[in-house]
Amino acid sequence: MTHVRFDPPNRRYAGYIFDCDGTLADTMPLHFRAWREALIKAGATFEFTWDLFVSRAGMSLEHTVVELSEQFSIQLDSTIIAGEHRAIYRVLETDVRAVPGVLEFARDVAAFAPVAVASGSIRPNVLRSLEQIGARDLFPIIITPEDVSRGKPDPEMFLLAAARMGVAPKQCLVLEDGALGIEAARRAGMDYALVLP
């Protein structure tokens, strides 16, 4: 299990938006392993390090492959590698646990404000992760790449979540573990709290 630092904010917000992977659900080590296996299978010649992985946290799989292709000047098929990652991850995701403290915080704030999930993972993965940590019914609003044209660090996901909650962006708090998600929250004009590994 990942050890995290999370200091809940003292003030109340009108709405709360949670990332899923690495924020609500402790899935990051599983995604990292799936990435490494998928890239090796695709013949990638660069080392996919943890730092490289974390730098793209919150980005869609396909977009990540496109960026890796550009960064390392290598031709990688985003559809094939993303599909391979999903297949490997599906096998690994049998024992997903909640990130300590964050799910409890989500339950606390849901008692007085709307809550949403905005994740760079596809909807089926997010739903399975939430189901495994016992939080599927807690989040009536779930935004995934299928709902938007641009992922994090673009603010579109968070702005859509705020609109569906009926809350002004400046009255929302975003909880994130990734730099791209923090940047998306900043661009959306939202406050944010960082969940640190």
Percent of the chain past pLDDT 90, that is, above it, reads 82
Q: Does 61 map to a domain?
A: yes
156/177 same-domain check: yes
Residues with a known catalytic role: 19
Write down the pLDDT at residue 4.
46
Domain around 35: 28-94
Q: Does residue 5 sit within a domain? A: no
At a CB cut-off of 8 Å and minimum separation 6, what does 18 contact?
A: 24, 102, 106, 115, 116, 117, 118, 139, 174, 175
* Res. 10: pLDDT tops 90: no
**Could you say which of 94, 110, 141 is where a domain stops?**
94
Let me know whether 22 and 40 are in one domain.
no
At 2, the pLDDT band (50, 70, 90 cuts) reads very low
Q: Which of 88-92, 93-97, 127-131 has the highest mean pLDDT?
A: 127-131
Banded pLDDT at 177 (limits 50, 70, 90): very high
The model's pLDDT over 115-156, given as tens digits with 9 standing for 90+, comes to 999 999 999 999 999 999 999 999 999 999 999 999 999 999
Is the pLDDT score of 3 beyond 60?
Answer: no
Residues 79 and 62 sit within 8 Å (Cβ to Cβ): yes
